[in-house]
Copies of this chain bind each other. A is one copy, B any other.
């Protein structure tokens, strides 16, 4: 994988974990709020999923932040 793509999974995963922990939520809590499976949250946070923009939209809605926030 070329440089721009392989970092984005890891950075996004770190941001999801940061946003989740800042709210004191478990992975189960976030999964329920984002209509995702708990295991998916674990994989996403470990940078192991090339998630889609619709999953981005679900996570952003669960965190109540704009989608772009997940890339900051």
Task: Write the residues of chain A forming the contact surface with B, with a CB cutoff of 8 angstroms.
Answer: 1-2, 4-5, 7-9, 12, 35, 50-54, 56-58, 60-61, 66-72
Contact = CB atoms under 8 A, between A and B. Distances in A.
Contacts of A54: 1, 5, 8-9, 50
A10 to B, nearest CB: 11
Q: Per DSSP, are chain A's interface residues mostly helix, strand or loop, or mixed? A: helix
Of all A-B residue pairs in the complex, the 7 with the closest CB atoms, nearest first, are: A68-B71, A68-B68, A4-B61, A5-B54, A8-B57, A67-B71, A5-B57
Contact of A52 (B51, B67, B69): B51
30 contacts: A1-B54, A2-B35, A4-B57, A4-B58, A4-B60, A4-B61, A5-B57, A5-B58, A7-B57, A8-B53, A8-B54, A8-B57, A8-B67, A9-B53, A12-B53, A50-B52, A50-B53, A50-B54, A51-B52, A51-B53, A52-B52, A52-B53, A53-B53, A53-B56, A67-B71, A68-B68, A68-B69, A68-B70, A68-B71, A68-B72
